[in-house]
A and B are shown apart, each in its own frame.
Chain A
């Protein structure tokens, strides 16, 4: 092998060790030359050593054969797998075949979705609505908790069948996902320490405002506080974690947390938090369940469940039970 390598001109020599520095192109070239020599049985060019020391002649056909078989096997697995489990695109049929409804949500966001401190089960208004939808479709409910802003991507790609997480219906979101009929109307509220007293937007001048990343509260702060210059862009902090934001206001890191009214009132109602609602921002937003686009069957099924709950009064009773209305 060494005499072949010396023929190529690229080899550099180290002054002390007389070794050669190999480049990838040289290695490949030498490999091809070696295979060619083996295939043409070049034993007369390079006198072979004693029979006991002679290495096994390389069998390039065996290597090529194995590679071909592996590739054919992989293709077969993919193709047959495709025929045996055709990818179902209709979400309603997928859910019924699977026997499970996979729902995405972001916790904690009391009273709509939160985890019970002792049992770790998911509870809240949104969770009970999800259970009703699963019951209507005669499947079991599986809840996946994730951050808020990836929920839309997860619905879009079909990772989850639907997302229910106090999601506001906005025209921007409707371009990539669809929503059911609304089931709740909310506003934004400014959550502050009980010792502060913010009464309107201009009173927030120069303060640090925190919001949750990807929510309508964050959009409101960008449009109504940052753009007119009431607060600087650096003083508007976007966190992915709602409880970290509320604790931050408690500890004094941030001055205000702009979040949906039921959540703000939920924190304010608990006297141990030391938080209160400064003022309410009337945005009149409607919550809807988020569903993949072009899924008319699934959307109709979920719409029917929500409409049924509104018609027979159970939606109103549910909202009253969690104090989401009557505040």
Chain B
């Protein structure tokens, strides 16, 4: 019979939570998630705009980027950016390499989410804005994008939750985040079920809070009577 020792959770609780600097454990996971989601959000908007541009070169480059980063596994991208670049002599800190790989990947997915949101706004909005004398940029940023972002909030929630869980992949390049900490504890105590169930619970808390926060944002920016509200 397997002996389940629950005291390893209390004994290694702060070890799993991790230190603030250099960030390890759960704190490293949270910092990774917040950084790559924010960088990906900004990058996603820029690349999404490039994807609907009429300039052929900009459109081609952004398509190559999006298809490339969506078409290859995230783990391979992480290895390439850390070990692959190092074989050319450029050494990155594993934490920075992890953030870079995750942000580039999530920017590609968020670009498509953004583009989907923008293209779902009726063409009449852009026509009306242009005929009122707004330039293309003004029309985009003052009229279309506020509506588009509100419509694509559920899709963004999906991507944010996926990214929080995908930060666990950087253990493979040696970033000491929650999953690596859990495996180190398992290597010492051999209580794999207890430790892994506990970190699954911590991940669930993170993703559930994110989805609740996004639901609050959705409600706050909903316009009663319009689509994509309540």
Contacts and interface: CB of A to CB of B under 8 A. Distances in A.
B192 A153 contact: yes
Nearest to A254: B174
A153 B190 CA distance: 7
A14 B230 contact: yes
A229 interface: no
Interface string A111-135: 0000000000000000000000000
B83 A16 contact: no
B91 interface: yes
A16 B180 CA distance: 52
A252 B188 CA distance: 29
A17 B172 contact: no
A26 interface: no
Contacts of A153: 186, 190, 192
B91 A253 contact: yes
A156 B2 contact: yes
Contact of A240 (B89, B172, B192): B172
Contacts of A213: 180, 183-184, 187
A177 B230 CA distance: 56
Sort chain A's interface into a size bin. 20 to 34
A239 B170 CA distance: 11
Among B79, B91, B180, B187, the most chain A Cβ lie within 10 Å of the Cβ of: B187
Given A156-B2, A157-B2, A241 B86 contact: no
Contact of A149 (B89, B91, B187): B187
Interface in B156-171: 171
Contact of A16 (B22, B89, B94, B225): B225
Contacts of B184: 213-214, 238
A251 B187 contact: no
B87 interface: yes
Contacts of A275: none
A106 to B, nearest CB: 13
B183 A252 contact: no
Contacts of B180: 213, 238
Given A149-B186, A244-B83, A248-B83, A210 B174 contact: yes
Interface in B124-178: 171-174, 176
Interface in A199-233: 210, 213-214, 218
Among B83, B172, B174, B186, the most chain A Cβ lie within 10 Å of the Cβ of: B174
A248 B103 CA distance: 24
B224 interface: yes
A214 B187 contact: yes
Contacts of B188: 172
A237 interface: yes
Contacts of B2: 156-157
Contacts of B22: 234
A90 B172 CA distance: 36
Interface string A14-42: 11110000000000000000000000000
A279 to B, nearest CB: 24
A308 interface: no
A90 to B, nearest CB: 15
A247 B83 CA distance: 8
Nearest to B230: A14
Contacts of B172: 239-241, 244
Contacts of B224: 14-16
A152 interface: yes
Interface of A: 14-17, 149-150, 152-153, 156-157, 172-173, 175-177, 210, 213-214, 218, 234, 237-241, 244, 247-248, 251-253
11 contacts: A153-B190, A153-B192, A156-B2, A210-B174, A213-B183, A213-B184, A218-B187, A238-B176, A239-B173, A252-B86, A253-B83
Given A149-B183, A252-B91, A253-B91, 9 more contacts: A14-B224, A153-B190, A176-B190, A238-B174, A240-B183, A251-B83, A251-B86, A252-B86, A253-B86
